[in-house]
Amino acid sequence: MVGKFNQTPLLTIQIDEEKVMKICRERISELVKEVEGEYVFWDTPELKKRTCMSWNTIQATFFYDPRFVKRKIGSKWYYPARETRAFLVQWLLEQPL
């Protein structure tokens, strides 16, 4: 004989929707500020800072990789920030352990 189960919930959770919405708005605001604070492009000192590499190391490792997007304007090199970051992550993952 199969008995009937009691359908009373074992646990009841109450959520304050206003607090949840406030937390969500704050986090979204933080993310927007983070994105707005990012550079559109980096110059060479910023590239060296972001990679923690010297100029000689950068040139010896990835600078001449054809996938590495860069533009020379006058005597300065510029690197599109988003593409450069994506390239650097990919390049690092390709390096032998």
| Rounded-to-integer distance, Cα 84 and Cα 31, Å | 20
Question: Is 31 part of a structural domain of the chain?
Answer: no
Question: Is 79 part of a structural domain of the chain?
Answer: yes
Question: Is 7 part of a structural domain of the chain?
Answer: no
| Rounded-to-integer distance, Cα 55 and Cα 39, Å | 20
Q: Which domain holds residue 61?
A: 41-94
Question: Is 83 part of a structural domain of the chain?
Answer: yes
| Rounded-to-integer distance, Cα 65 and Cα 49, Å | 19
Question: pTM of the predicted model, to two decimals?
Answer: 0.64
Question: Is 35 part of a structural domain of the chain?
Answer: no
**pLDDT string in tens for the chain (97-residue length):** 566 666 777 888 889 999 999 999 999 988 887 776 778 899 999 999 999 999 999 999 999 999 999 999 999 999 999 899 999 999 999 999 8
